[in-house]
Amino acid sequence: MKEVTALELKKMQDSQEDFQLIDVREPWEVEETNIGGLNIPMGMAVVRAGEISKDKKVVIHCKSGMRSASVIQALEQKLGYTNLYNLKGGILAYQ
């Protein structure tokens, strides 16, 4: 699985790189800590896959990197995504 570190993500944001950021945590978690991006809770990721780009780099994150890794696996296996990156260590590493 492809990954980006928290430092790499921060550089991508600061340089305004063209990528999509997806947060797969629950809405109440996003309210507590939010680094931007589209909130698609883990359980809705496959159903809402039409909102996830296939044309550019997509960084998917959660609290620690475990849920986002599961989402990436599902999207790659079921829907053929090849452009997904997991935020290593999740939002905990980013903070």
CATH number of the domain that residue 40 is part of: 3.40.250.10
The pLDDT score that the predictor gives to residue 83 is 98
- What domain range is 72 assigned to? 3-94
List the one residue out of 56, 21, 17 whose CA is nearest residue 40: 21
Q: What is the pLDDT of residues 42-51, one digit of tens each?
A: 999 999 999 9
How many domains does the chain divide into?
1
Start-to-end Cα distance in the chain: 22
Cβ neighbours of residue 18 closer than 8 Å, sequence gap 6 or more = 56, 57
Could you tell me the pTM of the whole model?
Answer: 0.96
Q: Do 56 and 20 form a contact (C-beta atoms < 8 A)? A: yes
Q: What is the pLDDT of residues 69-85, one digit of tens each?
A: 999 999 999 999 999 99
**95 pLDDT above the threshold of 90:** no
Q: How far apart, in whole angstroms, are the C-alpha atoms of residue 16 and residue 86?
A: 19
**5 pLDDT above the threshold of 90:** yes
Catalytically active residues, by annotation = 62
- Only one residue has tokens 């159903």, namely 47
Q: How far apart, in whole angstroms, are the C-alpha atoms of residue 93 and residue 90?
A: 6
Q: Do 64 and 33 form a contact (C-beta atoms < 8 A)? A: no
The pLDDT score that the predictor gives to residue 63 is 97
Q: What is the pLDDT of residues 9-34, one digit of tens each?
A: 999 999 999 999 999 999 999 999 99
Q: What does the mean pLDDT of the chain come to? A: 97
